[in-house]
Amino acid sequence: MTHHVVMKILAIKELNEKYDVKLEKITCTSEVGNGVIADVYVEDRKLAIECETMLGVAPAPLLKIFDSVRKYIEDKQRLSKPVEEIWVIARNWPAILHLGDLFWAESILKKELKQYNKKVKFFAPEIHRKSLQPIEDIVRALWSMQAKPTAT
């Protein structure tokens, strides 16, 4: 099973278990407009999810993420289904390697999408809980660990 498919399954699990979205309301590889495909889509929540492995997009994996999010705002005429929120799920190891860049990209895209009344949130899989962890929470946890004095 590819990493991309596994991330889709994890997104569906998260939507169903944490957000109480019925499985029949979730579609995969869903066309939400002319040439605009969401990896996972929930029309009731106006939510599109992009699963990014960040593999094979060197030297600039972040450009692919920016493109994946901006496709929902660049040409409003292209969208035939509502999208007000976009989740980006980045694969574990690339998310760790690019954590600072992902945190930065999320903040830039939040500001950009705000003018279109859209939201964006970045996640990474949390292996032990088999759930999604917001990138913001990972960064916050690392900052708090750094702030604690170490025993000598």
Q: At residue 62, what is the residue type?
A: L
pLDDT at site 139: 85
> SS3 of 28, please?
strand
CA distances in angstroms from 141 to 39, 94, 125, 133, 148, listed in the order given: 29, 18, 15, 11, 11
pLDDT at site 138: 84
Name every residue whose Cβ is closer than 8 Å to that of residue 73 and which is 6 or more positions away in sequence: 112, 113, 116, 118
For the residues 73-90, what does the mean pLDDT come to? 85
Give me the residue spans of the domains in the chain. 3-147
Residue 106 pLDDT class (50, 70, 90 cuts)? very high
Each residue's pLDDT tens digit, 28-81: 999 999 889 999 999 999 999 999 987 765 567 788 899 999 999 866 567 889
pTM over 0.75: yes
Tokens at 52, concatenated: 């990014």
